[in-house]
């Protein structure tokens, strides 16, 4: 499994422990871990995935873990829909230099968070509903 480049395990309740093992798959370029009870404590392992381009971590409690996502400068697609992202998290996400597709819907980023997101120069498609 270490040669795997794409992995979709949404809706599997893997939690932080399962996510830790997934983050050992360093060849991943695409990862969908939506709805898996992953929180900010588990996200510290994500920086191991330095080839990851597309991250879908929707319906998890990302919260302050957005700071770990912001270290993934190679990301081009990010889905953090319904992920407990606030204004501070939006600021972290806005630091991603290559993101072209962003779904940050159903979070609580507020006006300040939206202002941070609006400064992202590379975003071509942004879904930002109910913030």
- Residue ranges of E strands in 37-128: 54-56, 77-79, 101-103, 125-127
Tokens of 65: 């873990």
Answer yes or no: is pLDDT of 24 > 90: yes
- What pLDDT, in 10s, does the model give residues 80-129? 999 999 999 999 999 999 999 999 999 999 999 999 999 999 999 999 99
Q: Per-residue pLDDT tens for 50-87?
A: 999 999 999 999 999 999 999 999 999 999 999 999 99
Cα 90 versus chain centre, distance:
11
CATH superfamily of 6-127: Ribonuclease Inhibitor (3.80.10.10)
- Please state, as a whole number, how many other Cβ atoms lie within 10 Å of the Cβ of residue 3: 6
């Amino acid at each position: 499994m270490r040669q795997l480049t794409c992995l979709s395990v949404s809706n599997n309740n893997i939690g932080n422990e399962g996510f830790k093992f997934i983050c050992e798959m360093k060849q991943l370029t695409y990862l969908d871990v939506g709805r898996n009870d992953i929180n900010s404590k588990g996200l510290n392992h994500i920086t191991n995935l330095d080839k990851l381009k597309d991250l879908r971590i929707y319906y998890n409690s990302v919260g302050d873990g957005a700071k770990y996502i912001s270290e993934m400068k190679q990301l081009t697609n990010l889905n953090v829909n319904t992920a407990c992202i606030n204004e501070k998290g939006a600021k972290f996400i806005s630091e991603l230099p290559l993101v072209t597709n962003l779904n940050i819907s159903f979070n609580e980023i507020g006006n300040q968070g939206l202002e941070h997101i609006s400064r992202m120069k590379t975003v071509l498609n942004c879904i930002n509903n109910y913030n």
